[in-house]
Structure 1
Amino acid sequence: MHPGLYEVSFLLLLLHLYFAAFICTTGAGASSPSLFDGNLELPRGSIPTVSLEHLDPTLPPALPTQTPHCSLVVLQQNFADIVGAPPASASYAHPPDCPFPWTRVVLELSVAATDLQESRVAAIWIDGAEVLRTATPIPMARGAFWRVHKDLTRYTALLRRLADGGGVISMMLENSNKVLPGVFSANVSLHYYRGPVDDERSKSVSNAAHPSVRSLYREPADLVLPISKPDGQYGSGFWYRIDNETGVESTTVAIPRNTYRAVLEIFVSYHGEDESWYTNPLRNNYIHQSTAAKVSAPRANGAFRQVYATIDRRYVGGHVPFPVIYSSAINPVFWSPVVGIGAFDMPSYDLDLTPFLALMLDGRPHEIGLGVRSALPHWLVNANLHLWVDYWSDAVQAGPVEYFAPAIQMNRNAEWRNPDGQSEIGAEGLERFSGWVSWSRGNLTTEVRHKIKLRSQVQVQNRGAVTQIDFILKERTMVTVMRRNQWLARAQAVLDAPMQVQTAIVNAAGRPAMKKTRLFHQLMEVVSLSDGQAGATTTTELTDRQDAEGSALVGGRWGSGSSRSSYQYRDGSKCYSRNVATAGGAVIQDRKASCFAMSDDA
């Protein structure tokens, strides 16, 4: 998956862990001007401790003051040399002393690495429905470990269906020991909560699930149907593989005729030639090639991708994925011990399919398809179809109102004098879908508006020695429920995701070539939920930012770096803040704060 890591020397990695902090504090590279707002200089005077724990400084789904009613280990597995093997699976039944219902269920994935290994992508499914997509860090020392927590409240219907047993928990984590010896030992646990999950000591911090624009609805669905490979438990996992922009994989499902709302949740990860798609340049020859030739043009088609869905081959919406940086990308030292934004809990993407229910309420099977525009080999995709049903009706009526999905406007420009030059891609799109559903609460119309704007620019100078990449993604989604001309509920999500990467290869007489890199990456999300024109509006805000800079020998045998991660989440009067600074694989600062202290840390 990451062939550059095969040349990593264990001895040099140990030297890096012991001496990189010294290199950082002696001011290496300090005279270079920073690309970013703010100063990346790390605090002095503290003694860094090399940490074996890798972390993601996000809002925890459960606070230390909250004790689960019961906990259950549902799967244990050592992932060694198992490329091509089926996923690890275990039978699932609810703990007898902790029956349904629960206030919350939190999944915990605990992983330890026995030795050096490269980064992998993994997934966990419950009866074929994915509940977690995650990427492993690169364990740079024996005994490295990490934990991933995710609130499974959204998947309550899955767990409730398994109340009488018979369920299967599956986990896919392909690993190879042909070059590096590390084995991933994983435990998957479920923690069940009952009663209030808040108390006087934790009211200043939100106790909601990890905030995300990808879940626009408060209440969980009544049914969750997997859109995945039906034989995944016995094959290569439940995910579908997309190798090009024309490939669409589909699952046939029949939904209850009394369904009044439908949301498709899509999971994606990218691999092979598209592992760093967000840095792809656009080459001149790609612009003038035929469509067939473009599909196979390696790493030359620019940094635009869109994951999308179809119903019976009709396009019903899509999202540009947030660029999660894997631990092998750009400079692997940046992601030790703090991983990239979204790496431990990779984003899923919601498409509200309620306007299209008229296509699916006839009781017959229909094809839900998944594809990736401009894809290179390869992407792994699957989805969950969340359905809300009207228990007061055997069937509901539905019909279309508006379908507006013009082609995304693309602006491509490339000027190359190999190896130097520049390329730019601009993409803008606006789509609107609406449809009515008549059920026990009346005849309601759901309107979905989705707007995207993307800009990617790649500049290469000085005979390929200096590269600068600017990537900006903006998305706005609004879902409105109306009765006649009056809206009853509205959900709006706004995403802003800029990235900047600059690399410079420095050659010195008698010394190996060094590649210096600086990175800025940020995720900003604002979600507003409104109940009626005169009702209350709740707004959550999330800002997750990472800055990093460092050096590495060309060829990948040594590297050093420092990073700063800043995470802030606000939900009304509740908020959470965490700032983590690292140098040479060590955490040298880690500060957490609630609303009462955030103003002091600003």
Structure 2
Amino acid sequence: MRNRIVMSMLAGATLLASTLLGAGPAQAAEAKAQLVGSKAQAADAKVQVADVPAEFGTDWHDPLTAAPPIARPATKSCQVTLADTEFRDFTPYKGTYTPPKACGDHWSKVVLRLDGTVKGRQYDRLGYLHVGGVEILRTSTPEPSPDGIAWSVEKDVTRYSATFRTAQDVEMLIGNVVDDTYTGVIGVKATLTFYEGRPAAAQTPDRVITLAADSTLTTPRNTERIVAEVYATGSGGGCEEFWYLAVPDSAPYSCQADKGPYREVQIKVDGQLAGIAAPFPNVWTGGWSDPFLWYVIPGPRAFDVKPIEYDLTPFAGLLNDGRPHHIDVSVVGVPEGQSGWSAPVNVLVWQDAQRAHVTGKLTLDRAGELANSSTYTPGSEERVDTDAGHRLTTAGYVDTSHGRVRTTVDRTLANTSVHRWIDGENMDGLDATWTDDESVTVDGRGPARTTATHRTYTMNGATTIGTDDRLRTVLTLGDRAAVVDTRDGRRTGWSRLDDTYSGDATYTLNVPRDQRHAVGTSSERYRLYGSGGCYDRSLSTAQGVLTEDRSGC
């Protein structure tokens, strides 16, 4: 998909679901309260329908998503600015962070907010924000209107509280290019707001550790729970930005990989497989050859890239020996020597305050055979059918001050896709589904507790180019998850997420911007419901005008 690559050049998961998905039913009650004006919003949107232009102009509605706002406690708050800067090139912003004095050193919630502005012409760009070396945000940017846009991203970063308790270095980068053609300077302000109080101990680790320069990890010797998070993104403007479209070497297509499109993010401890996961198929705001799809509503997770989480607690006994252990993250399926993936690692650690040394043992590390089949079928319409998957089970125990605790992690991945295209790739389509099923059982200190998570990601779309050089992209993306929590076999909580984006946009190729005669519609419905409540919001746009903003369960 040559055009697709040219059009996007990035520089560059208990409420049960709150950690996994970034929001939860518990937040929905507040979100509903914050959206009491939704009927008025809907009425305004209907009025705007009459004003929808025939095609895109020089300005459009600021980017927004249907995701719920972050619930905020009604307690005293303090705000700290992390960065207030502009990005014109690839020079990182470097500053310092000092903890707020007026809100104590324990907080019921910490909320990160990024406000951005950009004007003129610019590609989508990928960025990160580090505090004390810990990655607290990975994000991408919208493409601007000539007249300028503003957008914001909010994220619950309470899990990084241990890092925020002491002064730290701050580093932020949104790599950018500004010249006579690409004029968009990206302005950002990033703040942390601290809410006084104490969070749930199970949700907030005692320490957040980054890997040493040699990719080693040394955990405190009294560690009783370990979770690694990896902000894995395929990016950089090359084929790995569109990894889901890769084909076997035998197929005549612009993006080839040895065995096709299957990608799997693996984490290893001292060379031993410790975790597997399906990467989310991120689509940035220049993706699929058609930026007009994304001018108002970005694809799921585009502005808030969620990390993959791996429960490494079965390895705690091994890691607690006081020595450094090598941690390796790799992406299965990437052709040897090819770049395009970034995978920074944070390690979240919970410690036993009553023990100086927690001992334990890894009792099971069993990986199934990795299945990966991509079959190429030639013809007037070329076709690649992919069927792949993998399974890993790990188990171990730690002997803590409150007894022996056993943890079993079982994860099963699957990917099926059908990729069709014709000679010249002026019809190029994909229908793909990824599933990532995970079960974590903790047995000890009371009845056994299990959290089962079923994640499903979907992508269905096609790009076509007509004889009149009109390029049209029709695309639907899905981000879904079902989480069930049980205790001693009885369900104690549940949640379901369904975030679906759909877009249809057309413009003329190979002409100046003001002659593209672009038109486009987009919509998003974000539903999150379960034992903690319900949230449901829908957005629709046409030619950059917001035509619907409706909420309610």
Q: If the length of structure 2 is used for normalisation, what is the TM-score?
A: 0.84
Q: 68, 71, 87: which one pairs with 1:79? A: 87
Contact between 2:437 and 2:454, CA under 8 Å: does it hold in 1? yes
2:349 paired residue among 387, 394, 398: 387
Aligned partners of 2:546 and 2:406: how far apart in 1?
51
Correspondence list, 1:120-519, <5 A: 120-160=125-165, 162=166, 165=167, 167-178=168-179, 179-194=181-196, 218-227=202-211, 230=213, 251-271=215-235, 272-284=238-250, 298=256, 301-330=259-288, 331-375=290-334, 376-417=338-379, 420-461=381-422, 464-483=425-444, 488-507=448-467, 512-519=468-475
Over 3 Å counting, the alpha-carbon distance change for 1:3 and 1:462 in structure 2 is closer
State the identity %.
25
How many residues align? The count is: 498
Amino acid at match of 1:304: Y
Q: The residue matched to 2:292 in structure 1 has which SS?
A: helix
| 1:343-388 deviations in Å (ceiling 9; x for gaps) | 0111211111111123212111111111111124211111111111
TM-superposed deviation, 1:156 = 1.6
**3-state DSSP class of the match of 2:225?**
strand
Equivalence for 1:22: none
What letter matches 2:505 in structure 1?
G
User: Which has the higher mean CA deviation after the structures are superposed, 525-534 or 330-339?
Assistant: 525-534
C-alpha separation between the residues in 2 aligned to 1:132 and 1:421?
A: 39
In 1, the alpha carbon distance for the partners of 2:443 and 2:227 equals 17
The change in CA–CA distance for 1:282 and 1:186 in structure 2 (over 3 A counts) is same
Residue 66 of structure 1 deviates from its aligned partner by 5.2
Contact 2:107–2:198 under 8 Å retained in 1: no
| 8 Å Cα contact 1:106/1:151 also seen in 2 | yes
Answer yes or no: is the 8 Å Cα contact 1:222–1:387 preserved in 2: yes
Aligned-pair CA distance for 1:117: 1.1
Amino acid at match of 1:309: I
For 1:102 and 1:465, locate their aligned partners in 2 and report how far apart those are by CA, in whole Å: 54
SS at match of 1:182: coil
CA RMSD of aligned residues (A): 2.8
Render the CA deviation track for 1:214-255: whole Å, top value 9, x for unaligned: xxx952111110137x5xxxxxxxxxxxxxxxxxxx511211
Question: Is the alpha carbon distance of 1:222 and 1:463 closer, same or farther for their aligned partners in structure 2, counting shifts above 3 Å?
Answer: closer
Counterpart code for 2:112? L
Structure 2 counterpart of 1:213? none
- Rounded Cα–Cα distance in structure 2 between residues aligned with 1:153 and 1:531: 26
Deviation at 1:301, TM superposition (A): 4.7
Per-residue deviation, 1:470: 0.7
Structure 2 counterpart of 1:102? 107
Letter in 2 for 1:220: T
In structure 2, give the amino acid aligned to 1:576. Answer: Y
Larger mean CA deviation between 49-58 and 99-108 belongs to: 49-58
2:479 alignment counterpart: 523
> Against the structure 1 CA distance between its residues 252 and 573, is the aligned structure 2 distance closer, same or farther, given a 3 Å change threshold?
closer
Q: Closer, same or farther in 2 for the Cα pair 1:171/1:68, shift >3 Å?
A: farther
- Tell me the secondary structure at the aligned position of residue 106 of structure 1: strand
Distance change >3 Å, CA 497–CA 297, structure 1 → 2: closer
The reply to whether residue 56 of structure 1 matches residue 65 of structure 2 is yes
Q: Offset of 1:300 from its aligned partner?
A: 6.9
Judge conservation of contact 1:284–1:416 (CA < 8 Å) in 2: no
Question: CA, structure 1 residues 565+437, in 2 after alignment: closer, same or farther (shift >3 Å)?
Answer: same
Cα shift readout 1:517-570 (whole Å, capped 9, x = no counterpart):
211111111122234445x61112111001111212234753321011100111
Structure 1 residue aligned with 2:508 = 553
Tell me if the contact between 2:314 and 2:394 (Cα under 8 Å) persists in the aligned partners: yes
Task: Verify the 8 A CA contact 1:2 1:118 in the aligned structure 2.
Answer: no
Contact residue 123 and residue 132 of structure 1 kept, 8 A: yes
Report Cα offsets for 1:160-197 as digits up to 9, x if no partner.
2x1xx3x1121111111133011011101111123599
Answer yes or no: is the 8 Å Cα contact 2:479–2:499 preserved in 1: yes
Q: Which residue of 2 aligns with 1:69?
A: 77
Quote how far apart the aligned CAs of 1:43 are.
7.3
User: What amino acid is aligned across from residue 381 of structure 1 in structure 2?
Assistant: A
Matching residue of 1:576: 535
State the TM-score, normalized to the length of structure 1.
0.77
* Cα distance in structure 2, aligned partners of 1:195 and 1:524: 32
Amino acid aligned to 1:74: L
Q: Structure 1 residues 269 and 590 mapped into 2: Cα distance closer, same or farther (>3 Å)?
A: same
Structure 1 unaligned segments of length 5 or more: list them. Answer: 7-41, 198-207, 209-216, 231-249, 288-295
Given residue 234 of structure 2, which amino acid in structure 1 is its aligned partner? Y
Equivalent residue, structure 2, for 1:540: 495
* Shift in alpha-carbon separation, 1:52–1:564, aligned structure 2, 3 A: closer
SS of 1:76's equivalent in the other structure is strand
1:136 Cα offset (Å): 0.5
1:425-468 deviation digits (Å, cap 9, x = unpaired): 11122211101111111112110000111012111247744332
CA distance in 2, matches of 1:522, 1:394: 46
Gap change, CA 1:105 and 1:553, over 3 Å in 2: same
| Amino acid paired to 1:98 | C
Shift of 1:299: 5.6
Measure, in 2, the Cα distance between the counterparts of 1:226 and 1:252. 9
* CA deviations over 1:35-69 (Å, ceiling 9, x no partner): xxxxxxx9797235764421122111136x95762
Moved more, 546-555 or 317-326: 546-555
Residue type at the aligned position of 1:445? R
Query: Letter of the aligned partner of 2:50 in structure 1?
Result: I
Structure 2, unaligned stretches of length 5 or more?
10-44, 53-58
Maintained 8 Å contact 2:103/2:196: no
- The structural deviation recorded for 1:4 is 3.5
Deviations 1:110-130 (A, max 9, x none): 111132211000011111111
